[in-house]
Amino acid sequence: MKPLVLDSTMTNMGGVFYPTGHVFALFPDEDCVRQAANELQSAGHQGDTAYASPDVIMEEIVRTLGTADAPMPSVGAEGDMVRRIADLAGKGHHGLLISMADKDTPERLVDAITPSGAVTAFYYRTFIIEDLIPQPVDGAPQSVVVGTHAAEGEDHPTVNSDQPR
């Protein structure tokens, strides 16, 4: 596992983080990332892996959002994914960028990283970002979507429950 070094091949035409052919997964701590990288190797994963600390995520990945939503929001989901990544990195989560080789499958990858504590994983394919680890549904808004376009249609309780909605 090498350190994450962001380059132009990992962004879309607007400069927003979009590493086509890769999975970006987030874990509670560095030990979980290292365990996941070992599990991937044991499972026969062919692609490279790169580690990103919360600071690197905030400095390298989150900065790619820049002014991408101004003056109008992006039609794609890449901005929402970067905001979800930023939310988790801001809470101390660490990242693992996983290159998908021809013989690698998303299912085998998820089976390898989930026991290591992966809280989310995004598979960046051409024109689509696949959310590989579904978020638990418990009726409360999930922190990884709060403040993103994904949360706009949800009915969130108000702070003062006496107030009409």
User: For the chain, which domains are there?
Assistant: 20-135 (3.30.70.260)
CB 21 within 8 A of CB 130: no
Q: Return all residues near 111 (Cβ < 8 A) that are at least 6 apart.
A: 43
Q: What is the pLDDT of residue 137?
A: 54
What confidence tens digit (pLDDT) does each residue in 67-114 have?
554 544 554 678 889 999 999 999 999 999 999 988 889 999 999 999
CB 30 within 8 A of CB 53: yes
Please determine, for residue 36, whether its predicted confidence score (pLDDT) is greater than 90: yes
Number of helices (H), then strands (E), belonging to the chain: the values are: 4, 6
More confident residue, 47 or 144: 47
Taking all residues of the chain, what is their mean pLDDT, rounded to a whole number?
Answer: 82
What confidence tens digit (pLDDT) does each residue in 6-18 have?
999 999 988 999 9
Q: How far is CA 143 from the centre of its chain?
A: 13
Q: What is the pLDDT of residue 149?
A: 45
Element (H, E) at 82: helix 78-90
User: In a 10 Å sphere around its CB, with 0-12 CB exposed, 13-18 middle and 19+ buried, how is residue 53 labelled?
Assistant: middle
- Edge-to-edge order in the sheet of strand 128-131: 2-3, 49-52, 94-99, 22-27, 120-125, 128-131
Q: What is the pLDDT of residue 146?
A: 43
